[in-house]
Amino acid sequence: MNLDNYDAGAGVPFCDLRAAYSADAEAVEEALVRVARSGRYVLGAEVEAFEAEFASWCGARHAVGVGSGTDALALIFRAAGIGPGDEVIVPAYTAPATWMAVAWVGATPIGVDTDRASGLIDAERAAAAVGGATRAVVAVHLFGRLAPMAELRTLTDRHGLLLIEDAAHAHATDEGTGPAGSHGDAAAFSFYPTKTLGALGDGGAVVSSDGELAQAVRRLRSYGWSSWQGDAAGLGGNSRLDEIQAAVLRNRLANLSTRRGQLRDLGRRYRDRLSKLEGLGLPPLAAGEDEPPWHQFVVTHAERDRVRRALLERGVETAVHYDPIPPRLTAFGQPGRFPAAEDLASQAISLPFGHWLSADEIDVVCAALTAVDIAARSRM
Ligand SMILES: *Cc1c(COP(=O)(O)O)cnc(C)c1O
């Protein structure tokens, strides 16, 4: 994302947060002023109201606003007593933050390869990865499509493990079986500005219907206090959602079902216009599955870097999620083999995507991809 050098006449940016802002600027600015004048900036009425509204949106009993999505994951682990000596099963293909949060609390992330058909965690391989030290499985709803929750729930029930959702891509995901955040024992959301529900800075939430776990996260996020300046029976840190961010998020949550419809339409438009390009893989859908409200619209191409360069020459900015995959980061250096995850990651191209994108801009991206595809075939 390089907004400073982007010339609006020249093409399509990967992510245009200024355009996203303008979609609801007046309501958001009213919220900013309301909080600024209120004199209450941390853990006040806006956070409380947002927590209730977001829990209800997710179909869960509790939501606890925290400092980021990474913190939300780490606080779930801490609240569940997961730490040194424990193992947590995570997909090999995900954002580095999923792995970092596990390691940050002293536990060991155990990577599981991707199912090639879905691009999501392979539930059978996850079952094979369970060992004596395993405490939890993290299901990542990668790019906005629900992980195989029924299979993973069978697995975690059989072994008495926690099922945790990393729902940082899935604020608008709701596939008939229930919204993201309603499937696991707890879910972590990020409100990083580029996410589907984004703040004007960092933020996150833990969502759970387990009252004890939610209460434990409340204590951990603020000095171990069980009430404001009450006793602290255990330790805690500081990871709180600001009143300003909560007020912004309340406005944007009220528009989220509209955004979901927009994201689905944009995804359908991409799919429709790109379905005939030979070398290009489209985001997977099961037979009869509706277009999810993607967080990223990720296509694959064997000559990823050449295609990205050719698109950029035509003014179309793209990004890569996520290469290298987390187990290959120096911090983890895991020796395991993850061939499906590595194949997908090495071919992944994230196209411009977000509710701010216009149908015309999608057509510009698709025309550029078509030109690149035709040029490649005429060379052969
Ligand atoms: C963004 C993201 C996170 C981390 O969220 P932050 O708010 O940036 O800490 C975790 N998991 C996934 C899959 C993400 O995309």
What pLDDT is attached to residue 1?
39
338 touches ligand 1 (CB under 6 Å): no
Decide if 130 contacts 89 (C-beta within 8 A): yes
Could you read off the pLDDT of 28-50 as tens digits, one per residue? 999 999 999 999 999 999 999 99
166 touches ligand 1 (CB under 6 Å): yes
For 167, phi then psi, to 5°, come to -105, 25
Q: Could you give the CA distance from residue 235 to residue 225 in angstroms, rounded to a whole number?
A: 8
Distance from the alpha carbon of residue 69 to the mean position of ligand 1, in angstroms: 5
Residue whose entry in the numeric block shows the structure tokens 């296509």: 299
CA distances (Å), 271 to each of 13, 290, 354, in order? 19, 12, 15
Decide if 130 contacts 354 (C-beta within 8 A): no
Q: Could you give the CA distance from residue 3 to residue 245 in angstroms, rounded to a whole number?
A: 22
**Rounded mean pLDDT of 371-377?**
77
Domains of the chain (ranges; CATH) run 3-20+256-378 (3.90.1150.10), 25-254 (3.40.640.10)
94 touches ligand 1 (CB under 6 Å): yes
Report the nearest atom of ligand 1 relative to the CA of 68: 7
For a mutational test of ligand 1's pocket, the pick from 120, 166, 197, i.e. the residue with the most ligand atoms closer than 8 A to its C-beta, is: 166
Could you read off the pLDDT of 4-14 as tens digits, one per residue? 444 445 699 99
| Poorest-pLDDT segment among 136-140, 143-147, 174-178, 227-231 | 227-231
Could you read off the pLDDT of 61-91 as tens digits, one per residue? 999 999 999 999 999 999 999 999 999 999 9
Tokens representing residue 232 in the block: 């602290």
Averaged pLDDT score across all residues of the chain:
94
Residue nearest atom 5 of ligand 1, based on CA coordinates = 69
Distance from the alpha carbon of residue 157 to the mean position of ligand 1, in angstroms: 26
CA distances (Å), 298 to each of 78, 164, 282, 310, 322, in order? 33, 24, 7, 17, 10
DSSP string, 160-197: T-EEEEE-TT-TT-B-SS-BTTSSSSEEEEE--TTSSS
Q: 3-class DSSP state for residue 35?
A: helix
Question: Among residues of the chain, what percentage have pLDDT more than 90?
Answer: 90
Global pTM value: 0.96
Distance from the alpha carbon of residue 376 to the mean position of ligand 1, in angstroms: 35
98 touches ligand 1 (CB under 6 Å): yes
95 touches ligand 1 (CB under 6 Å): yes
pLDDT at residue 363 greater than cutoff 60: yes
Could you read off the pLDDT of 278-312 as tens digits, one per residue? 999 999 998 889 999 999 999 999 999 999 999 99
Could you read off the pLDDT of 181-202 as tens digits, one per residue? 999 999 999 999 999 999 999 9
Decide if 295 contacts 351 (C-beta within 8 A): no
What pLDDT is attached to residue 375?
72
245 touches ligand 1 (CB under 6 Å): no
What pLDDT is attached to residue 380?
58
Q: Could you give the CA distance from residue 141 to residue 295 in angstroms, rounded to a whole number?
A: 10
Of 376, 377, 378, the closest CA to residue 307 belongs to 376
322 touches ligand 1 (CB under 6 Å): no
HSE on the CB side for 219, CA within 13 Å?
17
The band of 374, judged by pLDDT with boundaries at 50, 70 and 90, is confident
